[in-house]
Amino acid sequence: MPLDHLWATWRSNYVTSSVESRSDAPTDGRTLFERILAADGTDDEKHLLHRGRTCFVLLNKFPYTSGHLLVLPNRGVADLEALTDDEHIELWALVRSSVVALKAAFRCDAVNVGVNLGAAAGGSQSDHLHVHCVPRWTGDANFIGVAAETRVLPVSLDDALASLRAVW
């Protein structure tokens, strides 16, 4: 039986526009995530879930699903091997805490944890290492993203932040 292929060519437009908008934005030499961390406004307004000594946890503004969050070092470092020992330890401890919080807050069946190292690996913000933690439910994969170029997100960023804060 031949393998069928599903094409998601809309992703190309998303990645291209993300890269173009990033290169056009004023950076002051800082990464997007460094600018978010230092920006005016409250952590709630920035959907920043947790600040650690060397790392932080942020809800993804463009989530794959409700509750999709990112764990990042405070400083803009692109490579896993460039982390200090303290950053490495805190990063992976926060990934573990994030998985525990996602399971408790969303009662998800599983969690995808992943890192895209470099633009060729799919990282649209490859200048600042970040670990994706994505809650998943049995049967949540569907064709709406491919057929309608739409993501169904039943929980707002504000509600996801409140749910996660309650169990953090």
3: in domain: no
Domain count of the fold of the chain: 1
4: in domain: no
In whole angstroms, give the CA distance from residue 91 to residue 71.
7
Beta carbons within 10 angstroms of residue 40's beta carbon: 6
- Given phi > 0 = left and psi -120 to 50 = alpha, else beta, which region is 118? left
Q: For position 140, what pLDDT does the model report?
A: 76
Active site residue 130: yes
Tracing tokens 């959907």 back to the chain, one arrives at 47
Q: For position 20, what pLDDT does the model report?
A: 37
Q: For position 155, what pLDDT does the model report?
A: 82
56: in domain: yes
Tens-binned pLDDT, residue by residue, of the chain (168 aa) = 555 544 555 555 544 444 434 444 556 889 999 999 999 999 999 999 999 999 999 999 988 889 999 999 999 999 999 999 999 999 999 999 999 999 999 999 999 999 998 888 887 798 999 999 999 988 776 555 555 556 667 788 899 999 999 999
Which domain range does residue 42 map to?
10-167
Q: For position 3, what pLDDT does the model report?
A: 52
In whole angstroms, give the CA distance from residue 122 to residue 151.
19
The pTM is what? 0.78
At 102, which CATH number?
Answer: 3.30.428.10
In whole angstroms, give the CA distance from residue 75 to residue 9.
33
5: in domain: no
Catalytic residue (choose from 50, 68, 128, 130): 130
Half-sphere exposure of 63 (CA within 13 A, CB side): 24
